[in-house]
Chains A and B, each alone.
Chain A
Amino acid sequence: MRLLAVGISHRTASVELRESVDFGRRGLESALRAFATRGVSQESVVLSTCNRAEIYALGESDAAAEITRFLSDYHGIDPAVLEGHVYAHRGADAARHLFRVAAGLDSLVVGEPQILGQVKSAYATASDLGFAGAITHRLFHAAFAVGKRVRSETGLAEGAVSVSYAAIELARKIFGDLAGRSAVILGAGEMAELTGVHLRAQKVKQMTIASRTLASAEALARQLEGRAVPWNGVLSALAGADIVVTATGAAEPVVTRSMIDDVMRTRRIRPLFVIDIAVPRDVEPAVGDLEQVFLYHMDDLKTIVSENLARRTSELASAEAIVDREVQRFATWLQSRKIVPTVVALRQRFEQIRQSELRRLDSKLAGLPPEARARVDEITRLIVEKLLLTPTEQLKATGDDAIAYAETLHRLFDLTASERSGEDETPGGTSEPLARGARRR
């Protein structure tokens, strides 16, 4: 039995192909049940996000090909289409893959936060339905720990990596919780909408949208559950705002220093955060000179984003180091589990010797009263127990040397070959794409 991770991701497949193998459409439960009928794996977890579709399984060495066949059968795709896009990781490499996924190291945007939750819910589904077992349990809990550690101990997940989210992050640094704050959006284009959606997600109390054409402002206001005001009502809207987003297509600045001067007088000393994501600029740069105004332009936000991306890149090494350590720990645990069949065989061997000796002495013991015979049985059993106690404990504590110990014990005690199992798993694990394919992002 080997641990396997088989699937496709944004690294190996295009969006179209990923969409066609999305397990999310019919639900993870249906996928898990269908996969179980194949009888390939004892334990299975299906992970499906918009960037990846993966099956974690515990199967024989040919199981990877079987899982690939399942992918094409279940989704009704020609196996030839999948060829070159499916990867398979085995043993410790499967663990490494999952740990990197959970840490956000394998994500399209490195360090993105959703993936850990998706891994958690994938495991929870499998576990609830009884498809997870001792190994997947340990594997996934280790993965959660890796994800958590990478997020808390490295800067991998820090800093916004999109312009609109960078604006939100800044707003939160100024105002704290954005619930209860008011925002004004000037413009009704794509960038206005994107930032508006982020603000809505932050539960901004009131959103006011103004645009040169009232109809488009109203359309966006409906979508964002805000209110639209005509263009000449902008000044009064600004007076009540904490956050102003400007994204109009105007050629000249629509927000001038004298406008904001007037606005600031009525609002006393309350900070105003102006985000100008229009190109060319909507806000006169002099607005930023006002004491309580924070003015950020598109270029400033872009600089922040590129700095954040650079910082994330600089944190990669420490994140990978955490993954390495945890993979090592998991591999050690996996190795130590392999000693279990040997321990069982050893105990059976001892019990076997005890039984045969008791049988051999049966005639000599026949004269003893039943209580005495029972006593003999008990004493011999206890001796065997005592003899095996320390070796059993020691064996269970072995890590990397498990295979060597198993070999030695098999030779010393002549444990039959049929009692050995799990040794087809080479330490370290192997990974290879099932067939060569172009790496796409």
Chain B
Amino acid sequence: MHLVPLVFYAAAAAAYLTHFAWRDPRVGRLATAILAGGVLAHTFLIGMQTVHVGHAPLVGTTAAVSAFIWLLGLSYLYVEITTDERAIGVFVAPLLVVLALIPALDPSVSPRPPLLQSPLFTVHVVSMLFAYASFALAFVLGVTYVLLFKEIKAKHLGFFYTRLPSLQALDVMNARVVTIGWSFLTLGIAIGGLWAMQVHSFPDPRAQAMDISDPKILAAILCWFVYSFALVARTVIGWSGRRAAWLSTIGFVIVLLTFVPVGYFFTKSHNF
């Protein structure tokens, strides 16, 4: 079932790539339509799983990755529609494809253990995933910023120069998505902390492991510090543009580490 969105995302990636290379506006619109179709199919899939298992499919890294992809697709479409800027799609769509391979290879939905039967859990996971999706967008915007910056600085106006929006526009979008992501990250961590306190006495070894020394929690806190620094640096010492772009990249590397290696192999508290 997870193959359907994957195929859509792959087709959208191909269309965004074609659009980026040849700049045919019809291909661009087609790319958006395919991506929207993929997100819609993904929505149905998540909806069906919710009905099937009786709760939102958020348990387990695979399900979380799937929800993350869905939120990233949705956020990207929102950014594209509000800014009328399609060039970023060529970076986002392949990311969706790579991540969508995970749920496509392992489509099972884990049952929800009693530990997680709390509305706080759902809010925590959704806010964290939304924050990570925003950081993924910020990362893509940061990378494109650096690419364009380098081209203009080196006076080799070429591929990216003709295709990307202005440095200013990329920077403003970056600031916006980092702010949104940071807000959700803060909310997610706070709710997570609250919930961890509630379940600390729960007879589950994972509940006992919910503290700062757990790699997954540590990584999330680290993330929070990186993005808090990015926001403070931007407003107080004027770190915008290229430095903000680098911070978005560092932050997202931590996000990816949290997600895949830490989520699958190292964490003792978040291995659902």
A residues within 8 Å of B by Cβ?
152-153, 155, 158-159, 170, 172-177, 268-271, 291-292, 294, 296, 300, 303-304, 307
Contact = CB atoms under 8 A, between A and B. Distances in A.
A271 B155 contact: no
A175 B153 CA distance: 14
A270 B162 contact: no
Contact of A294 (B153, B166, B172, B237): B153
A304 B157 contact: yes
Given A270-B240, A271-B241, A173 B155 contact: no
Given A155-B162, A269-B240, 18 more contacts: A153-B24, A170-B157, A172-B166, A173-B152, A173-B166, A175-B168, A268-B237, A268-B238, A269-B237, A269-B238, A269-B239, A269-B241, A270-B240, A291-B242, A292-B242, A294-B152, A294-B153, A300-B155
B205 interface: no
A316 B84 CA distance: 28
Nearest to A292: B241
Contacts of A271: 167, 241
B239 A152 contact: no
A174 B167 contact: yes
Interface string B133-176: 00000000000000010001101010001100111110010000
B84 to A, nearest CB: 13
Contacts of B157: 170, 304, 307
B178 to A, nearest CB: 16
Given A270-B238, A292-B241, A304-B157, A176 B166 contact: yes
Contact of A296 (B155, B237, B238, B239): B155
Contacts of A268: 237-238
Contacts of B148: 173
Interface residues of B, number: 23
B206 interface: no
B239 A173 contact: no
A174 B168 contact: yes
Contacts of B162: 155, 158-159
A303 B155 CA distance: 10
21 contacts: A155-B23, A172-B166, A173-B152, A173-B161, A173-B167, A174-B166, A175-B167, A175-B168, A176-B166, A176-B169, A268-B238, A269-B237, A269-B239, A269-B240, A269-B241, A270-B238, A291-B242, A292-B241, A294-B152, A294-B153, A303-B155
Contacts of A270: 238, 240
A291 B238 CA distance: 14
Contacts of A172: 166
Contacts, number: 51
Contacts of B166: 172-176
Nearest to A170: B152
B150 to A, nearest CB: 11
Contacts of B25: 152-153
A296 B23 CA distance: 27
Interface in B49-74: none
Contacts of A269: 237-241, 243
A158 B153 CA distance: 21
Contacts of B24: 153
Interface in B157-209: 157, 161-162, 165-169, 172
Q: Which of B162, B166, B172 has the most CB of A within 10 A?
A: B166
Contacts of B241: 269, 271, 292
Contacts of B168: 174-177
Contacts of A176: 165-169, 172
A217 to B, nearest CB: 29
A155 B240 CA distance: 32
Contacts of A294: 152-153
A268 B234 CA distance: 10
Nearest to B240: A269
Contacts of B169: 176
B165 to A, nearest CB: 7
A170 B240 CA distance: 19
B68 to A, nearest CB: 30
A268 B243 CA distance: 12
A199 to B, nearest CB: 16
A271 B241 CA distance: 8
Contacts of B155: 296, 300, 303
A155 B241 CA distance: 29
B137 to A, nearest CB: 18
